[in-house]
Structure 1
Amino acid sequence: MSLLESYILTSIKNLPLAAKTTIDGFMSGANKSAAKGTGMEFSQYRTYMPGDDLRWLDWKMFARSDRYYIRESETETNISLRLLVDTSASMDHRDGNYSKMEYARYLAASLAYLANMQGDSVGLYTLKEGGIFSLAARQGFQNLNRLCHELEQAGPKGKFTHPVHYKDIYSGGRKKELLVFITDMYQEKDEMYKLLDLLNALRHEIIVLQIMGKNEMTLDYKGYTTLEDLETGATIDIKAGAPKTYKDALAKHLESIRHELLSKRIYHRLLIMDQPIDEALRDFLYKRSKGY
């Protein structure tokens, strides 16, 4: 099954990726990226790759070498989308047709496709226990295919990335980006908040898409009486009357996450996995386009 499902792409193709942002020059439905061409400071050549814009082929280089080269400039695109995907073991939680990891893959691939279609560059970080995998933000369908391949190989296993690895995320990178963090917000010692604080300090705009299973929301596990933590292995028995207590505690927990992210000026959206992915994306993108 392809991550780029046609029914999802058809559903979101006419929606702007975002409307309000702190990134300079970002405008709803009129992204001013794709900034390569004549009249700009020349930087380097690179080998042509399928999916590259043919307008930037250097025909003089072709005449001299009989090979195709793309002429790149120093000018950066106005918009760069960076997808950060939680690949820890808690993302192996399953509800209905999807695990959280599968749901996250579809979300990320669809947003990457939309950014690519709008002419924006898109990159990827997969966050895992042993470190962070990085795919540079680029334009073109070859980059999109590579991103989807990496998503298919990603997790879920282990714990969330240790803060010691966070320093590697933007070492050498200064360009402001639109960051979409796809996660279940399962953390032991506020390690995710530390990550978000780092990204905030770099003045990126951040969106957190929190994925939860419907069975997590209702504590409905169809006859199971013992639950196991996918990351620590700890177990807990479900006792009579637990659902009511659990729901109250969960509501407070989700509200604390929402409040914490709001205090950091981070957009937060809770996605429940019983909602079809195309509907969840369409609803999220529509509300972003309206500024809420």
Structure 2
Amino acid sequence: MAVKDLSLFARTVVDGFMTGINKSLNKGAGLEFSQYRSYQPGDDLRWLDWKMYGRSDRYYIRESEVETSISVRFIVDASHSMAHNDSGYTKMDYARHLCATLGYLAHRQGDAIGLYGLTEKGVHVLAARRDPQHLQRFYYQLENLEPGGKFTEPGYYKNIFGASTTRELTVIVTDFYERAGEISALLKELGAYRHELLLFHLVGRNELELDYGNYTSLRDLETGQTISIHAPEMRAAYQERLRERLEMIRHQMLEQGVFYRLLRMDVPVDQALRDLLQQRQKMMR
């Protein structure tokens, strides 16, 4: 997290993670050769057939029967609770680095990536594409996504997420802070489109352990409400309530067919990389 440059961070983490991974992971346009077609501006240059170019002096793209690239849509909760700080960095900091890393991995696999930032005033949309310049736009949008206000109203995202007709993996990054089931409602909406859903639930170590040093009160970032805490007396009851809450969310996601992962902010993103590859390969079967 000390690396602020998202591009550098993503490359460093993914390149290290991929060391030793089977190099035969499916990449590109397909598994079995089907036909050639003329090159069109914007086509991935990796799929040019240079032997055909040598014979005909024209550019051709090698197409395949089985499409192995997908669209990966990243949905990031940008409500004010994502400004929660633990050990000097926020949930939004973690979300940025997490999405940058997963986005770089997806891009490297030949997938289109898109970003949707859920803010109180609306949804910041970067539609999914797979060209090299788009990855830099993806990083730029992540860097400029700041937490603030309450969670997005349903009216802002209605009819946005259901437009795609291609195979799609939707990655949701949130702290699941909700007062009236607003995040649960979004997940039900997404589930109706029958895309593969992968949810990363961010929690701070200080949240899990009710460890805020010498502080004796906490302020709700979204409502401004302040409560007094006496950690030694409250910790056991608090952790039991939190355990029940997390277990309820896990069961709810299981029932809705959502792949759910609880992520502590003090652990590396390696598990998230494995989860993305696992869900992606599941869609290829």
Give me the TM-score of the superposition, normalised by structure 2: 0.80
Displacement of 1:171: 5.2
Cα distance change on mapping 1:290 and 1:112 into 2, 3 Å: closer
Aligned runs of 1:119-130 on 2, under 5 Å? 119-130=110-121
Displacement of 1:204: 0.3
- 2:17 maps to which residue? 12
Displacement of 1:98: 2.2
- 1:156 maps to which residue? 147
Displacement of 1:176: 3.1
Structure 2 counterpart SS, 1:194: helix
Distance in 1, Cα, partners of 2:258 & 2:272: 18
Displacement of 1:119: 0.8
Displacement of 1:191: 1.1
Alignment root-mean-square deviation, CA: 3.3
- 2:179 maps to which residue? 188
Aligned runs of 1:113-262 on 2, under 5 Å? 113-170=104-161, 172-239=163-230, 241-262=233-254
Residue 53 (structure 1) aligned with residue 56 (structure 2) = no
Distance in 2, Cα, partners of 1:182 & 1:267: 12
Distance in 2, Cα, partners of 1:166 & 1:157: 17
Structure 2 counterpart SS, 1:241: helix
Distance in 2, Cα, partners of 1:271 & 1:119: 26
Displacement of 1:92: 0.4
Displacement of 1:267: 0.6
Name the aligned partner's letter for residue 11 of structure 1.
G
Name the aligned partner's letter for residue 10 of structure 1.
D
Name the aligned partner's letter for residue 254 of structure 2.
L
Displacement of 1:9: 2.3
Structure 2 counterpart SS, 1:81: strand
Distance in 2, Cα, partners of 1:113 & 1:286: 12
- 2:6 maps to which residue? 3
Displacement of 1:117: 0.6
Structure 2 counterpart SS, 1:172: coil
State the Cα deviation string for residues 69-122 of structure 1 (Å, max 9, x = none): xx9x9x987411111111111010111142100000011001110011111111
Cα distance change on mapping 1:123 and 1:54 into 2, 3 Å: same
Distance in 2, Cα, partners of 1:242 & 1:98: 25
Cα distance change on mapping 1:100 and 1:283 into 2, 3 Å: same
Q: Number of aligned residue pairs: give it.
A: 260
**Percent of aligned pairs with the same amino acid:** 39
- 2:26 maps to which residue? 30
Name the aligned partner's letter for residue 74 of structure 2.
L
Alpha-carbon contact 2:27-2:68 (below 8 Å) kept: no
State the Cα deviation string for residues 46-84 of structure 1 (Å, max 9, x = none): 6x69xx53767xxxxxxxxxxxxxx9x9x9874111111
Alpha-carbon contact 1:207-1:266 (below 8 Å) kept: yes
Name the aligned partner's letter for residue 142 of structure 2.
L
Name the aligned partner's letter for residue 73 of structure 2.
R
- 2:58 maps to which residue? none
Displacement of 1:252: 0.3
Name the aligned partner's letter for residue 26 of structure 2.
A
Residue 111 (structure 1) aligned with residue 93 (structure 2) = no
Distance in 2, Cα, partners of 1:209 & 1:108: 10
Residue 269 (structure 1) aligned with residue 261 (structure 2) = yes
Cα distance change on mapping 1:170 and 1:188 into 2, 3 Å: same
Structure 2 counterpart SS, 1:182: strand
Alpha-carbon contact 2:29-2:47 (below 8 Å) kept: no
Q: Which moved more, 1:93-102 or 1:75-84?
A: 75-84
Structure 1 counterpart SS, 2:118: strand
Aligned runs of 1:37-48 on 2, under 5 Å? 39=36
Displacement of 1:133: 1.2
State the Cα deviation string for residues 197-229 of structure 1 (Å, max 9, x = none): 111111100010011000000000001010011
Distance in 2, Cα, partners of 1:124 & 1:286: 18
Alpha-carbon contact 2:70-2:166 (below 8 Å) kept: no
Displacement of 1:14: 5.3
Alignment gaps of 5+ in structure 1: 17-27, 57-70
Q: Which has the higher contact order (CA 8 A, sep 6+)?
A: 1
